Amino acid sequence: MKIAEAPQHRLGYLQARPGDVVGRDDLFIVDVRHEDELTDDFGHIHGVTHVPADRVMRDGLPVPEDTPIVVVCQNGRTSQTCATRLVQDHGFKEVYHLVGGMLRWTAEERPIARTPTWTKLDLDSPGA
């Protein structure tokens, strides 16, 4: 389900703001930071899926290509690269880059978790 206000970047991904994402359960939110960053001062979005950036860029994600995906990192730079790769190299149709990452999310005082609530996607397991 598209985020109505999200403009499309020239590289093919869409640009979402924290207010576009918070409270939505129809988006597959992927945090691409190192696992230890998910419990630091910026925390993580409750219930995200954790996949390190290098794995996302190399392997894509084991979900259907029409899945609405939001990619988040600390400041938005790495997630922007991952979003570009998901669209251009892996054929995903609806990929959102969370502009400003967790820095913006926390600056806007959106809810975070500092204890593990994420799902770790194991791309090495059979069927993944």
Four-CA torsion 17, 22, 26, 32, nearest 10 degrees:
70
Instruction: State the pLDDT at residue 126.
Output: 47
Q: For residues 79 and 101, is the Cβ–Cβ distance under 8 A? A: yes
Instruction: Label residue 123 by pLDDT band (50, 70, 90).
Output: low
Instruction: State the pLDDT at residue 4.
Output: 84
Query: Is residue 77 pLDDT above 60, yes or no?
Result: yes
Instruction: State the pLDDT at residue 117.
Output: 95
> Apex CA 18: angle with CA 53 and CA 70, to 5°?
35
What average pLDDT does this structure show over 81-87?
A: 98
pTM of the complete model beyond 0.85: yes
